[in-house]
């Protein structure tokens, strides 16, 4: 039973006790008034009639309150008995579920156990699965990190043969280097620079090495700058 229900029953019982107490006090007052002198008195008689009416109403209220308390007690007992019955019904189900979960945890360990002897068949099955996994993993393509680089190759002057310079740059060849498109970009005073792109594998070709190799072409190349650098 909820705390609110208990509080209501307790309050109703207290109201009943107070009402009963007031009822008997009223009766005592009536007896005291009746014991007064036997001289007829209209005012006393009126008070007596009023007290009798109040006592009658109070008695009826007491009877209604008594019935309410009895009804509440019966309801509380019914709720308590229902709760106990449900608890008894749920307990076996919970125990059965716990037993079932424990039995499922005691199943076969596919990966073997340190505390149990591994059978030859289980060991063979595990080795076959590991071999299949390793074979599948080895067939997966390895991701190669690459970069797209645009280089600005500057000549010495406007008399530099730009076509010969481009050919010399493209002769630089190594594993992981792929040259792309090239074009001439005006600088000043009729001088053009060679802007050439390439794709390199990061693990095989470094940018520093590539710029150093181009700057070794001293007959054509004055300097090399990196115009753009992007990961592919």
Supply φ then ψ for residue 152, to 5 degrees: -105, 110
90 pLDDT band, cuts 50/70/90, is low
User: In the sheet that 221-231 helps form, which strands lie side by side, from edge to edge?
Assistant: 177-188, 191-201, 146-155, 221-231
Give the residue-averaged pLDDT of 38-47: 66
Q: Has residue 190 been placed in a domain? A: yes
User: Are 76 and 15 within one domain?
Assistant: yes
Mean pLDDT of 25-48: 60
pLDDT of amino acid 88: 61
Q: Do 210 and 152 fall within a single domain?
A: yes
The tally of domains found in the chain comes to 2
Q: What interhelical angle do 3-34 and 42-105 show, nearest 10?
A: 160
Is residue 116 situated within a structural domain?
no
**Residue ending a domain, choose from 29, 63, 98:** 98
Among 58, 52, 56, 57, smallest CA distance to 16 is for 58
- Considering the domain boundaries, does residue 122 fall inside one? no
Span 212-228, average pLDDT? 94
> Which pair of structure tokens corresponds to residue 99?
């037993």
N- to C-terminal Cα separation, the chain: 71
Q: Please check whether residue 163 lies inside any domain of the structure.
A: yes
121 assigned to some structural domain? no
Is 132 domain-assigned? no
pLDDT, tens digit, for every residue of 96-151? 666 666 655 554 454 544 545 557 888 888 888 888 877 777 666 667 889 999 99
pLDDT of residue 180: 94
pLDDT at 80: 75
- Quick one: tokens of 10? 């307790």
Query: Which domain covers residue 225, as residue numbers?
Result: 146-231
Task: Look at residues 60, 76, 98 and tell me which one is the last residue of a structural domain.
Answer: 98
**Structural domain includes residue 43:** yes
Answer whether residue 137 is part of any domain. Answer: no
């Amino acid at each position: 039973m909820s705390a609110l229900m208990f509080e209501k029953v307790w309050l109703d019982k207290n109201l009943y006790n107070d009402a009963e107490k007031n009822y008997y006090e009223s009766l005592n007052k009536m007896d005291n008034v009746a014991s007064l002198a036997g001289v007829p008195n209209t005012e006393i008689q009126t008070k007596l009639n009023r007290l009798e009416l109040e006592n009658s109403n109070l008695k009826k209220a007491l009877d209604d309150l008594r019935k309410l308390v009895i009804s509440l007690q019966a309801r509380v007992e019914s709720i308590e008995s229902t709760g106990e019955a449900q608890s008894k019904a749920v307990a076996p189900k919970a125990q059965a579920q716990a037993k079932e979960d424990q039995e499922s945890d005691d199943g076969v360990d596919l990966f073997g156990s340190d505390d149990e002897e591994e059978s030859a068949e289980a060991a063979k099955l595990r080795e076959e699965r590991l071999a299949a996994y390793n074979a599948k993993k080895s067939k997966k393509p390895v991701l190669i990190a690459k970069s797209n680089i645009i280089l600005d190759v500057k000549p010495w002057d406007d008399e530099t043969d730009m076509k010969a310079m481009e050919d010399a740059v493209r002769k630089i060849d190594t594993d992981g280097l792929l040259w792309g498109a090239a074009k001439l970009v005006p600088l000043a005073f009729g001088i053009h620079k060679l802007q050439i792109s390439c794709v390199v594998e990061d693990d095989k070709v470094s940018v520093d090495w590539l710029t150093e190799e181009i700057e070794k072409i001293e007959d054509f190349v004055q300097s090399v700058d990196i115009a753009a650098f992007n990961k592919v």
